[in-house]
Each structure stands twice: as structure tokens, then as C-alpha cells.
Amino acid sequence: MTTAAPLRRRWDWFNGLLRTYAVLLYIFLFTPILVVVIYSFNKGRFLVIWDGFGTNWYGVALENEGIQNALATSLRVAAANAVVAVVLGTMAGIALARRSGKWSRPFLVLVFLILVAPEIVDAISYLIFFVRINLGWSFARLVIGHSIFNSAVVTLIVLARLQGLDESLEEAAADLGASPWRAFRQITLPLMLPAVLAGALLAFTFSLDDVIISSFVSTSGGTTLPVYVFSALRTGMRGDLAAISTVTLAATLVALGVMVFALRRSGESVEGVVGTITGAG
């Protein structure tokens, strides 16, 4: 007993140190975002000099034609990219989980290569490819460039979900005379739907905040919001940029909240929701 007490105190000290580190890490990560949100309500002309509370920059941002066009382009590209990524990623995840074979390992290596390859390398490759095939439509360029990466993300999320589900339900449906399509529609799809929703949300948000690929593959008239903001920051920090960034952040959080609510309504536990979003199962 005399040995257990010092050991317990040592572990208590270590756990307290880990909690302190976690708090400091979260402060480090989220303080810059909080500063942007706060200063988006600065009514002064200069963003970095607080001159009182005001919402005037939100009106300026929403009336800015350049911001309007860039935001509309980003939303269209993100939505189309999410559809493409979900379709391709879901089919790939199902094939890997239910019809694996000798091709599975090389295919998974390819998926991970897409995820770990430097984004600047991807961007240059896409640019060369689009120039070679003479594809000048900015919307198509952006959707293809974004959906390749996001398809890999959706693939891993769907694969993780299906690997945690028993295939016996699908086999039972087949034994009862259900066609493969009916078994998929009535059993497999509802079971993997949380993973599909999570993949769609991640594909949408990853596309919405992409800068490097969008900078390389977009053409005149097809500028996305992150590229517009990045270019505008070269001339100085403006309140309308902070305002539209805050609006985008709020929209992303609302979308995340809706997805979490939908997953909870489907019977997912809190741990299940987190695991689905992160692709852990």
C-alpha cells in the first residue's frame, strides 16, 4: 500500500500535465480563428485596430460582387465535388469491404498515395493534365481536382464503416430471395448511410477551403472564395474578408451540426458519430 500511493500520485501528476497540454494545444489552434471572428465585428476602417463593435463589414462583404461570385463558385464546386466523391468513394469502399481480392492492396496503396502526396505536386500534375487535354472550363477543372482527393477520403470512411458491419444480414437477404440490388438498397445502404453522410460533409468542406489546387487549376472567371481571399490579403487586411470568413465558418459549423443531429437521430452513439466522421469505424 505504501508503494501504491506514490505511484498513484505520480500518475495523477502525469494526467494533469496531459490535460494542461491539451488545453494549451486547443488555445493555440483556435485563438487565431477566434481573433478573426471578433475583429469581423470591428466597425473601424482598419481591421487590426479595434474601433468599437459593428456589423458594417458584413454588409460590405455581402454587397461585394467579387466576393459574391467567388462564394457562388465555391459552393457550386464543393457541391458537385461532394457528389462525385461520394459516388466514386462509396463504390470503392464497398468493393474493398465486400469484394476484396489481389487487387485490394495495390488499390489501397494508391488511395493512401493520393492522401499523402504533397498538394503542390497534385496541383502541378492537374494543371499539366488539363493543359494537355485542352480543358479550359474552370468549373470542371476544380471539380476534378477536388474530387480526386476527396474520393480517397470517402473510400476510407465507407471502408471502415462496412468492415465493422456483419455481412450475415446481406447473406440472409440473399438466402430469402432478395436480389443483389434490393439487398443493397434495403440493408447495406441504410447501414452505411452515416459514413456516406460523413464523407459527403468532409468532401464539401475540404473543397470549400482548398487554396493550392484551386489556385493552380482555376481560370479567369472561376475564382473560388479561398483564392479570392488569399489574393485580396496581399493588399492588406480588410474587414469584409474577416466577415465573409466568419460567415463561411458559421455555415460549416451548421452543416456539421446538421450531420451530427442526423447521425444521432439514426441511433448512433456519440462515440459512433466521432468514429464515423473521422473514418475510425
Summarize the confidence of residues 129-154 as an average pLDDT: 90
Give the phi and the psi of residue 53 in degrees, each rounded to 5. Answer: -80, 135
Domain limits, the chain: 4-39, 65-277
pLDDT band at 229 (very low <50, low <70, confident <90, very high): confident
Summarize the confidence of residues 57-72 as an average pLDDT: 86
Architecture of domain 65-277: Orthogonal Bundle (1.10)
Q: What angle do CA 203, 204, 206 make, to 5 degrees?
A: 65
* 275 has pLDDT over 70: no
Predicted TM-score (pTM) of the model is 0.79
* 85 has pLDDT over 90: yes
Whole-number pLDDT of residue 76: 92
Chain centre to alpha carbon of residue 124: 22
Whole-number pLDDT of residue 89: 92
More reliable by pLDDT, 187 or 123: 123
Q: CA of 176: how far to CAs of 143, 180, 248, in Å?
A: 42, 11, 49
Percent share of the chain, pLDDT over 90: 18
